[in-house]
Structure 1
Amino acid sequence: MNRIPLSRTARLLILLATVVVLGAVAVGATLAAAGRADRKDRTQSGGPKVTPGTVRLDGPDQSLFRNMAWGPHRDEITAVPEGRLSGPRTASGVHCLRFHAAAGTGICLQAVHGELRDSYRAVLLDNRLREVRHYDVAGTPTRARVSPSGRTVAWTVFVSGDSYAGTAFSTRTSVVDTGGRHLDANLETYALTVDGHRVRAADINVWGVTFADDTRFYATAATGGKTYLVRGDRNTGTLRALHPNVECPSLSPDGTRIAYKKRVAGADPDAPWRLYVLDLRTLRETATAEHRNIDDQAVWRDGRTLVYSLPGDYGSDLWTVPADGTGAPHRLLSAALAPAFSR
């Protein structure tokens, strides 16, 4: 088949048409990107208002938490008045991945950004959120707690794996007094007993401390493919199993109940947990009215109400539900994580 050669004019017209088409594509892509950026800006501007200011751990009638709203104060510990939780937030300038506070003491698990990789540390904070001392930690932060007196703190990190949902994970939990005189760097060195028998196994993991006082606490211990609520004692270096299928316990203010996440039969293996409450006197379990998957260590807002995180538009929202199985869950705070409430 003979091809008819194109004239110089025809070639110029084809080139011009190609340039016009490519230019239109580029303009369209630019406008689409601008539209996405505009939508993102509108979403961010529609989030909670956050301004820098002074934050103290002993502020009366306030809630503290990690701010998740987009902007320059994301991941900072912020404060809002208890009576105006949806109001403007005061940002402290202190960045934390996990946070808890009690009696004027704070524990902040932070990322330390390096040129090649990030590392992490646990930072003890005073009443004005100033660093008292810090400890390098062996992995990704996941849980943190302060005893009611503020004299003892605990934290848990993942040293391998990144989720409690699977079986291929390992944790490291440490407890230290705020004077820095007594650090238990790894609670797996404590003597664990289950059904009265000492467990000596390489697969023991301990996580999710919640304090009864400065020396006694509860936590989760896992071994042999099972998890247990354990009672720990720093004076004796012991862990004693009390009840099976308990993870990330949280002790009520009166010391009589444990809120926790429980693996339920028939649930999605990637979303296996529901929020329960255990009566420590009778070991009777009560399912809360929250039926979604909860991967958090709940906090008691008071003696009747639990607060926990669920995924949200900014990464995490805080929700609340009664501890006695009644009522229904509702959103307490948007764009928030790791709360601590005034007592």
Structure 2
Amino acid sequence: MNASGLSTRGRVIVLVAAVALLAAAGTVYILRARAVAPSPAAVPRNGAQAVPRQTTLPRGELVMVGAGASADSGMVVAVPPGGEGRPVSTGLRCKRFYAAAGTGVCLRVGATLTVGSEAIVLDERLREVRRVALAGIPSRARVSASGRMVAWTFFVSGDSYLSVGFSTRAGILDTRTGTLVKSLEDFTLEKDGRIHSPIDLNYWGVTFASDDNRFYATVSTSGRTYLVQGDFAKRRMRVLRENAECPSLSPDGTRVVYKKRVGGESDPWRLYRLDLASGRETKLAEDANVDDQAAWLDDRTVMYSKLRGDSSDVWTVPADGSGRPQVLMRDAFSPAST
């Protein structure tokens, strides 16, 4: 075969190799894009969230966010009652999630520097109904028992309640009227019978009463924390007691569970229950540090997450101070009973 023939064959071989190389590179690019791309439920389509057709917000079950090295890490999963059975993924990725009565709220951090954090309100089929642009790192999320009121807390500086000079911002959305309050700092605060308006107010950890108007939250000022009761319609709050953070109101509206600072710097918080009528406080049978806003599994039991190495687990404990803690779900956090 002459030199010209060899040259032609060489060019063909080079061309085939180049095509193969480009195809392989394209395949790697697609696989990597799939690995980092948001899940289908997180991608808006025509103004609504596209979700797997079989995915709905479960009723009478539990929802949590996966943690640690599990395949569901960062994904909202539905868990059968009692935590028994295999979790079912919703395809929705959130830093915090909560749901009640067919309404869900997903707190997320933007995928790029130009896309900030956001609270995404979802309907019972996990379709987006409203998106609120926010700033900071997601910390707490709540939905009222009726599904009407939605609340969130974001760190706007620092990333922990133990951080020096941390700052939080808590907001509330009335999904029925569309009324949005991006910061509870816009409300009037009453303390010791007088209007209290220092410049260092921080609010976090909202929980709602059954009337969708009254709520409870934490406020910090001058290095101290307080439990406050709020009136959404009147835009007013009043201090109830000191040293109570991240409250969670019981389904019957008579008790509040919160974390109370009683330990050292490395493990400061323990769970307590407050009877709203009598003012009597009871320590729950959880002796470990709990840096979470507890949720009520039912009228007798609360659930919360505790760190475990690079992961966290969801635990339960009786709300009356009896019993002992029990693991509800490994590698999970942000539990909600729907």
Answer whether TM exceeds 0.5 for this pair: yes
Mean CA deviation greater in 285-294 or 62-71: 62-71
Equivalent residue, structure 1, for 2:185: 188
Q: Of 284, 288, 300, which residue of structure 1 is paired with 2:284?
A: 288
1:330 aligns with 2:326: yes
Measured in 2, the distance between the counterparts of 1:308 and 1:139 equals 23
Measured in 2, the distance between the counterparts of 1:167 and 1:316 equals 24
Percent sequence identity over aligned pairs: 50
1:305 aligns with 2:301: yes
Q: 1:90-143 deviations in whole A, cap 9, x for unaligned?
A: 1111101101101100010012211x5773110000101111111111100000
Q: Of 115, 121, 146, which residue of structure 1 is paired with 2:143?
A: 146
Equivalent residue, structure 2, for 1:230: 228
1:241 aligns with 2:239: yes
Letter of the structure 2 residue corresponding to residue 238 of structure 1: R
**Considering only CA atoms, is the larger Rg found in Structure 1 or Structure 2?**
1
1:106 aligns with 2:104: yes
Equivalent residue, structure 2, for 1:253: 251
Deviation at 1:53, TM superposition (A): 7.9
CA contact (8 A) 2:59 2:101 kept: no
1:317 aligns with 2:313: yes
Measured in 2, the distance between the counterparts of 1:314 and 1:179 equals 39
Equivalent residue, structure 2, for 1:55: 55
Q: 1:13-56 deviations in whole A, cap 9, x for unaligned?
A: xxxxxxxxxxxxxxxxxxxxxxxxxxxxxxxxxxxxxxx88332
> Structure 1 stretches (4+) deviating beyond 6 angstroms?
none
Equivalent residue, structure 2, for 1:16: none
Equivalent residue, structure 2, for 1:129: 126
Equivalent residue, structure 2, for 1:18: none
Q: Of 198, 208, 217, which residue of structure 2 is paired with 1:201?
A: 198
**Structure 2 length-normalised TM:** 0.81
1:339 aligns with 2:335: yes
Measured in 1, the distance between the counterparts of 2:217 and 2:88 equals 33
SS of structure 2 residue aligned to 1:294? coil
Deviation at 1:178, TM superposition (A): 1.4
Equivalent residue, structure 1, for 2:31: none
Equivalent residue, structure 1, for 2:18: none
Gaps of 5+ in 1: 1-51
**Structure 1 length-normalised TM:** 0.80
Equivalent residue, structure 1, for 2:81: 82
Equivalent residue, structure 2, for 1:215: 213
CA contact (8 A) 2:228 2:237 kept: yes
Measured in 1, the distance between the counterparts of 2:310 and 2:269 equals 22
SS of structure 1 residue aligned to 2:267? coil
CA contact (8 A) 1:305 1:323 kept: yes
Equivalent residue, structure 2, for 1:73: 72
CA contact (8 A) 2:67 2:332 kept: yes
Measured in 2, the distance between the counterparts of 1:294 and 1:72 equals 25
Letter of the structure 1 residue corresponding to residue 172 of structure 2: V
After superposition, the Cα gap between the structure-2 partners of 1:73 and 1:237, relative to the gap in structure 1 and judged at 3 Å, is same
Measured in 1, the distance between the counterparts of 2:115 and 2:131 equals 16
Letter of the structure 2 residue corresponding to residue 91 of structure 1: S
SS of structure 1 residue aligned to 2:146? coil
Q: CA RMSD in A?
A: 1.7
Measured in 2, the distance between the counterparts of 1:324 and 1:293 equals 18
Equivalent residue, structure 2, for 1:5: none
- Count of matched residue positions in the alignment of Structure 1 and Structure 2: 286
SS of structure 2 residue aligned to 1:255? coil
Gaps of 5+ in 2: 1-51
Measured in 1, the distance between the counterparts of 2:259 and 2:54 equals 35
Equivalent residue, structure 1, for 2:273: 277
Mean CA deviation greater in 305-314 or 248-257: 305-314
Equivalent residue, structure 1, for 2:3: none
Deviation at 1:61, TM superposition (A): 3.5
SS of structure 2 residue aligned to 1:188? helix
Deviation at 1:157, TM superposition (A): 0.2
SS of structure 1 residue aligned to 2:308? coil
Deviation at 1:313, TM superposition (A): 5.2
CA contact (8 A) 2:69 2:311 kept: no
Letter of the structure 1 residue corresponding to residue 335 of structure 2: P
Deviation at 1:270, TM superposition (A): 2.8
Measured in 2, the distance between the counterparts of 1:180 and 1:130 equals 19
Letter of the structure 1 residue corresponding to residue 247 of structure 2: P
Deviation at 1:226, TM superposition (A): 1.3
Letter of the structure 2 residue corresponding to residue 253 of structure 1: P
SS of structure 2 residue aligned to 1:311? strand
